[in-house]
């Protein structure tokens, strides 16, 4: 749910409960959120008590979350941690809009190249993302991601602005100052059999692959990749991991 969202998962929870449990079912409860364009695992609870327990696990960062993403370019280094605070800012252009962006605590001084402390943005939130490259081909990479914190659009911002590798189909964070379709490398367009003018139809290639909940005996949930994501991996000749 949220501003301008017409179809929300919360609206279909009573119907989903009836499909699972027959007509006498109690509605299911949402335990966490996913960006509207992100695919993958979503945990629902059958009772309010279970939902509150699980929400607390998310809030206290006890849930292990693993995402997969196809990105443009190749991160350097190929494995590491991005730890840069994130803040929401207004983008002043001919179409003013709001975006999440980096608010680094340090900067390189132009005069002598020394790293010095930057003035922190007041409302910036701590954000930490672990990443690892799984495959690279066709001017793209397949990354495994583990968000340690849960800031809005964290993975998208850290990849696009922190590593310079925006997610394929992320038209919002591929540019800063404009709202425009993502510009793709020639090789990527060729492999996808796509014209640049049609790039705006590419969906976001970010998938919540796995969730592990430490509830007594840990519960491990895995969601396989959607068909469009699998097709993209094949076209780009990115090897699909076996797990």
Backbone angles phi, psi at 185, to 5 degrees: -65, 150
CB atoms within 10 A of CB 190: 13
**Running DSSP on this structure, what letter comes out for residue 198?**
G
- Which strand (E) or helix (H) includes residue 9? helix 9-21
Task: Count Cα atoms within 13 angstroms, Cβ side, for 179.
Answer: 10
Q: First CA to last CA across the chain, in angstroms?
A: 32
Choice among 35, 74, 170, 220 that is catalytic: 35
What sign does the CA torsion over 57, 22, 208, 243 have?
positive
Has 35 been annotated as catalytic? Answer: yes
**Separation between Cα atoms, residue 86 and residue 152, nearest integer Å:** 9
d(CA 161, CA 163): 6
- Enumerate the active-site residues: 35
């Amino acid at each position: 749910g949220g501003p301008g969202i017409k179809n929300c998962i919360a609206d279909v929870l009573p119907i989903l409960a009836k499909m699972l449990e027959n007509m006498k079912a109690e509605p299911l409860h949402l335990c966490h959120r996913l960006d509207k364009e992100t695919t993958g695992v979503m945990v629902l609870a059958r009772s309010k008590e279970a939902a509150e327990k699980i929400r607390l696990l998310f809030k206290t960062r006890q849930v292990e979350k693993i995402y997969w993403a196809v990105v443009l370019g190749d991160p350097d280094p190929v494995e590491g941690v991005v730890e840069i605070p994130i803040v929401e800012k207004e983008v002043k252009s001919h179409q003013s809009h709001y975006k999440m962006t980096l608010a680094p605590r340090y900067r390189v001084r132009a005069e002598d190249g020394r790293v010095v402390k930057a003035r922190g943005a007041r409302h910036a939130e701590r954000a930490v993302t672990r990443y690892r490259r799984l495959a690279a081909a066709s001017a793209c990479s397949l990354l495994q991601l583990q968000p340690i914190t849960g800031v809005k659009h964290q993975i998208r911002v850290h990849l696009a602005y922190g590593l310079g590798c925006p997610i394929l189909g992320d038209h919002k964070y591929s540019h800063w100052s404009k709202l425009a379709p993502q510009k793709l490398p020639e090789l990527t367009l060729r492999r996808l059999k796509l014209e640049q003018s049609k790039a705006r139809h590419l969906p976001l290639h970010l998938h919540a692959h796995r969730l592990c909940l430490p509830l007594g005996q840990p519960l491990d949930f895995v969601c396989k990749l959607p068909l469009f994501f699998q097709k993209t991996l094949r076209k780009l000749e990115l090897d699909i991991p076996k797990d």
